[in-house]
Amino acid sequence: MNKKVILSGIQATGNLTLGNYLGAINNWKKMQEDYDCNYMIADLHTLTIRNNPDTLRNNTLDLLALYIAAGIDPEKSNIFIQSHVAAHAELAWILNCYTYMGELSRMTQFKDKSAKHADNINSGLFTYPVLMAADILLYQADLVPVGEDQKQHVELTRNIAERFNKIYGDTFKIPEPYIQGVAARVMGLQDPTSKMSKSSTIPNDSIFLNDEPDIILKKFKKAITDSENIVRFDKEKKPGISNLISIYSAITGEGKENIEKKFDGKGYGEFKVAVAECVIEELKPMQNKYKELKDNPDYLEKIYRRGAERAKEIAIKTLKDVYEKVGLVW
């Protein structure tokens, strides 16, 4: 009864990467014992870019299967599809009316995504942080697990909630960002200065959770490092090898100093293979479970329908309170 509430989600825009797993899902799994967890598949957020409808539907169910295969237990956490809970869109409209244009124009992700999708700079791309605020505030979340790149959106959510509370009285809980430590931001293998991304167009830059072992090995062998050939963590001067050390540390639990000692004098070639092997072993049971789940669509439907009902029960209480406070007839 006294557990703190967690809300987080991932967009259904394609196969998840090792970065999504180590930076988000693997940590979500650990939170299940200590928090009241709500994990959504953020399909509404994907609409800011053009999607093939069949691909979006398939990606949504793939993501649901990957959540469960990676260890998110539907008996311990509530898993649901965002669009199945209409309160997200309803609250987003109301919160839009309490959010300032200047606040949204300062969002760095809007600038980044506008540059990537210059032919489709739509209003949804501009206002989606308000939908994200609605996602969080509907469930009265205490904590929001995010990477550093999303921290700005949680700060905006806090500002909106505080503004609304100041006008109408205590309505929303003020959430805090929950940023994990090691490997919270896995970088690309070919561009270690940028976050590993599902949408990267650089060959061999991302490890996808469904990659076969030989593909994973090949990608790690081609990972960009430097000419020093010394396994040493230095994020500024050696971003490539530092990224590999972070990945190895996150999976094995070994500290960076121990890893440096373990591979002292062994060079990058041997270390890259070792990182690949530990990733392959880590992903193997998840990949097997994922295949089983994809062969059982009835079970997946049962999970997302039950999750939506649970989410609606929570969300409608917040939405009703907001409607009454702003003067809408409920």
Q: How many helices (H) and strands (E) does the chain have?
A: 13, 5
Q: Which residue ranges make up each domain of the chain?
A: 5-179+297-326, 213-291
Q: What's this model's pTM, rounded to 2 decimal places?
A: 0.89
pLDDT digits (tens, 9 = 90+) for 293-315: 999 999 999 999 999 999 999 99
pLDDT digits (tens, 9 = 90+) for 17-36: 999 899 889 889 989 989 99
On the 0-12 / 13-18 / 19+ scale of CB atoms within 10 A, 94 is middle
Same CATH topology for 5-179+297-326 and 213-291: the answer is no
Q: Kindly state the DSSP code that residue 42 receives in the 8-state scheme.
A: E
Phi and psi for 267 in degrees, rounded to 5?
A: 80, 170
Q: Which residues of 111-122 are buried (b: 16+ CB within 10 A; e: fewer)?
A: eebeeeeeeeee
Q: Which two tokens stand for residue 266?
A: 């062994």
Say if CB 38 and CB 80 are below 8 A apart: yes
CATH number of 5-179+297-326: 3.40.50.620
195, 219, 238, 272: the catalytic one is 195
Q: Is 81 helix (H, G, I), strand (E, B) or coil?
A: strand
pLDDT at 146: 82
Say if CB 319 and CB 88 are below 8 A apart: no
pLDDT digits (tens, 9 = 90+) for 90-111: 999 999 999 999 999 888 776 6
- Active site includes 195? yes
pLDDT band at 117 (very low <50, low <70, confident <90, very high): low
Q: Which fold has domain 213-291?
A: Tyrosyl-Transfer RNA Synthetase (1.10.240)
Beta bridge partners of 38: 7, 78
4, 198, 312, 317: the catalytic one is 198
Question: Of 193, 196, 218, which Cα lies nearest the Cα of 205?
Answer: 196
- Active site includes 320? no
- Active site includes 284? no
